[in-house]
Amino acid sequence: MKHRTYLALAIPLTISTITTPLLGVVDMAVVGQLANPAYIGGVAVGTVIFNTLYWLFGFLRVSTSGFAAQAEGANDVKQQILALIRPLYIALIVGMVFLILQLPILKATLALMSLDSNVLQFATEYYSIRIWGAPFALANYVVMGWLVGKARIKLTVSLQILMNLINIILAIVFVKVFSWGVSGVAAATLIAEIATVILSMLIVIRLLPQSFRFPSYKEILDPKPFKKMVAMNRDLMMRTFCLLVVFNLFTAKGAEFGTEVLAANAVLIQIHYMMAYTFDGFANASSIYVGKAIGSQDENLYKKTVSLSIQWAFISSLFITFVFYLCKGFIMPLFSKTQSVLELTATYELWILLFPITACLGLVLYGVFTGATEAKPIRNSMIYALGVFLLILLVSLPTLHNHGLWLSFIVFSLGRSIFLTMYLPALNYKLFPSVQEQKKASKTF
């Protein structure tokens, strides 16, 4: 596999994945044009709540992609179908649980944050509308993951673009024309999520072979593959939980420095999301190729994929940093027209410039491990990085204040990269032990 082949998959996937955080970005950009920074703070807090809910079950997309890619590599149609249906059941059940427990979830989350009355009001308003999209948002994770695993990239990109177009148009109409404020951007996102998942399910039905039959419950709950799926999802859930601890602490501690600092941090974190999802496109490409390599037992494809993943992690990190540095004067005003908030983003923007190079390996190699459906190293590396984050936060926050908060985050990002990279040799040995043993034997002689 050559660079061109890898990029032919990675670039469209990057376009697809980078649209994922646009739901939150568009919401913040629209309300950011209103005069009161509490609007941004309220949407930022609301977005953190949904990141908490959805990211905790983000494994549904990632694991679905890995299992679908392996089934595609093995040309096993039955396993391809089961790779969709098993996580889809989980998504719908979890989504309904979110709806049932929506009030306790809101109260428990807001109790962890020190918010002024205006931010609290807008956050509650935003949450109370968007929560009704929970089953649709999680089902959409599964369907998108399945399409990515089958390398149906054009469909994935088209669906993501459609979702964001609906969101952008409705958000502008609801806020600018009908003056619905925070309720308007929340309603726009809700409608976009529902419309997209309905359309994506219709597309999936058309992609299934004519001989398709719905699997029995015995096939869906077959102990061996189901246990493997549950184990991988458990480890990925723990990884996501660590991420949520970091981001929730980041938001809560930032709120302690005032509404304007909270708003400035929220703007920079949204830019961080855009950067992270750019890397996610390369991670998804790596996941697909690794999954296919394992499904077809192609050791050369696996080795080349790992090599290209590392190379493009560094290349893309430099490109992302360069683009942001050149365009920051244009990007920042898109999120807020409040001068004090813009001045604060300029104060802390150096930390965002450091993010790509520190996080690139952790974010891209993540796809190698998910394509191999080996999530334990991902879980462990994230736990170690979280420990480093908490330690640096404890030491730096009292003296460096918000700069200490950002320092902790950047060290956390670097830890993710270092700790996950350390697990790569063990993964190589587990997937292709005979090759590794031959290398050891040759060194002995």
Tell me, yes or no, whether 444 lies in a domain. no
CA 412 → CA 247, 358, 384, 399, distances in Å?
A: 11, 9, 9, 19
DSSP string, 15-66: HHHHTTTHHHHHHHHHHHTSS-HHHHHHHHHHHHHHHHHHHTTTHHHHHHHH
The arithmetic mean of pLDDT across residues 274-283, rounded, is 88
Give me 59's structure tokens: 């494994």
Distance CA 134, CA 357 (A): 34
Give me 164's structure tokens: 């964001």
pLDDT for 213 beyond 80: no
> What is the average pLDDT score of the chain?
85
Torsion angles phi and psi, residue 316, rounded to 5: -70, -30
User: pLDDT tens, 321-380?
Assistant: 999 999 888 888 877 778 888 888 889 999 999 999 999 999 999 999 999 989 999 999
Sign of CA dihedral 409, 414, 415, 417: positive
Tell me, yes or no, whether 104 lies in a domain. yes
Task: Report residue 50's pLDDT band, with 50, 70 and 90 as the boundaries.
Answer: confident
Tell me, yes or no, whether 10 lies in a domain. yes
Tell me, yes or no, whether 418 lies in a domain. yes
Percentage of residues in the chain having pLDDT higher than 70: 91
Q: For position 36, what pLDDT does the model report?
A: 65
Tell me, yes or no, whether 442 lies in a domain. no
The arithmetic mean of pLDDT across residues 88-114, rounded, is 88
Task: Report residue 33's pLDDT band, with 50, 70 and 90 as the boundaries.
Answer: low
Q: For position 441, what pLDDT does the model report?
A: 42
Task: Give the total number of structural domains in the chain.
Answer: 1
Task: Report residue 443's pLDDT band, with 50, 70 and 90 as the boundaries.
Answer: low
CA 27 → CA 32, 335, 388, 403, 413, distances in Å?
A: 8, 9, 32, 26, 26
pLDDT for 21 beyond 60: no
DSSP string, 269-336: HHHHHHHHHHHHHHHHHHHHHHHHHHHTT-HHHHHHHHHHHHHHHHHHHHHHHHHHHHHHHHHHHHH-
Residue 15 CA to its chain's centroid (Å): 14
pLDDT for 442 beyond 50: no
Tell me, yes or no, whether 256 lies in a domain. yes
Tell me, yes or no, whether 277 lies in a domain. yes
Distance CA 188, CA 249 (A): 28
DSSP symbol at 374: -
Nearest to 28 by CA among 251, 337, 328, 255: 337
Which residue, chain included where needed, has tokens 């979890």?
94
Tell me, yes or no, whether 443 lies in a domain. no
Higher pLDDT, 170 or 434: 170
Task: Report residue 426's pLDDT band, with 50, 70 and 90 as the boundaries.
Answer: very high
Count other C-beta atoms under 10 Å from residue 296's C-beta. 15
Dihedral-angle region of residue 297 (phi above 0 means left; psi in -120 to 50 means alpha; beta otherwise): left
Distance CA 35, CA 217 (A): 55
For the ranges 83-97, 132-146, 204-218, 411-425, the one whose mean pLDDT is highest: 411-425
Residue range of the domain that includes 221: 3-435
